[in-house]
Amino acid sequence: MYIARSDWQHGVAVWWYAGVVSDEEWEETFAHRRELCARSPGLRFRPSVLLVTGTEPMPNALRRRQLCEVQDHPHYNPYIACVNRDPRQPGITTALRWVRGRPNWDESTFLTIEQGIAWLEEKRGTRLPALRLMTANIRRLVAAQSQSPA
């Protein structure tokens, strides 16, 4: 499952992955990244993205290549707080960074959502209430979906 919310007036987005991500949801994730590239030049500040992942499988080689292509765009320059609930993920992120070199964006990995939001607020130099509200709404949605019968 992939859930995304954005508020480009405030330059914030939440991209939340939980469980298996379908092909359609991967297309959505690429569309959201392309939208960020299109909107970035018009913003007064760098976008701030909270990216939340869990224990879902890593994307296959095709999806990883597509992700790299989108992220190589010169206007892809957000602050990204990656919240990984899988303890193996920070090591994977570091290994990928060594292979790819320095990206256009500023990214850091955290174990909790609060740590990720605090880092984004520090980077932007201001509180991000729109990001906090979107995150709370998605948390409620994910919790409700996990409690509903399959």
Instruction: From first to last of the 150 residues of the chain, give the pLDDT tens digit.
Output: 899 999 999 999 999 988 888 889 989 988 998 898 888 888 888 999 999 987 666 777 888 788 778 777 777 788 999 998 766 655 545 544 544 555 567 788 898 999 999 999 999 999 999 999 999 999 999 888 877 665
Question: Domain residues for 106?
Answer: 2-39+46-147
Q: What number of CA atoms fall less than 13 Å from residue 73's CA on the CB side?
A: 18
Q: Which long-range contacts (CB under 8 A, 24 or more apart) does 70-75 make?
A: 70/30, 70/33, 70/34, 70/37, 71/33, 71/103, 71/104, 71/105, 72/104, 73/34, 73/37, 74/104, 75/36, 75/37, 75/38, 75/40, 75/41
- Smallest CA-to-CA distance from 131 within 121, 140, 145 is with 121
Q: What number of CA atoms fall less than 13 Å from residue 125's CA on the CB side?
A: 2
Query: Residue 115 sits in a domain of what CATH number?
Result: 3.30.750.24
Concatenated DSSP letters of 104-129 = SSEEEEESSHHHHHHHHHHHHTS--H
Q: What is the pTM of this model?
A: 0.83
What one-letter code names the amino acid at 6? Answer: S
What one-letter code names the amino acid at 106? Answer: D
Number of domains in the chain: 1
- What pLDDT sits at residue 99? 45
